[in-house]
Amino acid sequence: MTLFFTKMNGAGNDFILLDNRQGLLSLDASSIAYLCDRHRGIGADGILLVEWAEKEGLRMVYFNADGSRASFCGNGARCFARFAWETEHKNVGCGRLSFLTDCGTVEAWVEGERVKITMPSAKNLRLDVPISLSDRTLNGHAIDTGVPHVVLFGDYEKWTEAALQDLGYEIRWHKAFQPEGTNVNFVWKAGEQAIKVRTYERGVEGETLACGSGVTASALISSVILGMEPPIDVYVRSGERLQVHFRRTEKGFEEVFLEGPAKKVFVGQIELP
Domains of the chain by residue range: 2-118+262-271, 123-260
Mapping DSSP to helix (H, G, I), strand (E, B) and coil, where does residue 210 land? coil
Among the listed residues 36, 79, 103, 211, the single catalytic one is 211
The pLDDT, as a whole number, for residue 54 is 78
The pLDDT, as a whole number, for residue 92 is 67
Q: Is 212 annotated as a binding residue?
A: yes
Among the listed residues 36, 73, 79, 103, the single catalytic one is 73
Alpha helix ranges (H) inside 95-185: 161-172
CATH number for the region 123-260 comes to: 3.10.310.10
Closest CA to 231 of 194, 189, 197, 187: 194
Q: Is 40 annotated as a binding residue?
A: no
Q: Long-range contact list for 226-230, CB < 8 A, 24+ apart?
A: 226/153, 226/189, 226/195, 228/192, 228/193, 228/195, 229/193, 230/193
Q: Is 98 annotated as a binding residue?
A: no
Domains 2-118+262-271 and 123-260 share a fold: yes
Give CATH superfamily name and number for 2-118+262-271.
Answer: Diaminopimelate Epimerase; Chain A, domain 1 (3.10.310.10)
Low-confidence ranges of the chain (pLDDT < 50): none
Does the active-site annotation cover 211? yes
Q: Is 21 annotated as a binding residue?
A: no
The pLDDT, as a whole number, for residue 166 is 96
The pLDDT, as a whole number, for residue 90 is 66
Indicate the DSSP class of residue 112.
T
Q: Is 139 annotated as a binding residue?
A: no
CA distance 249 to 205: 34
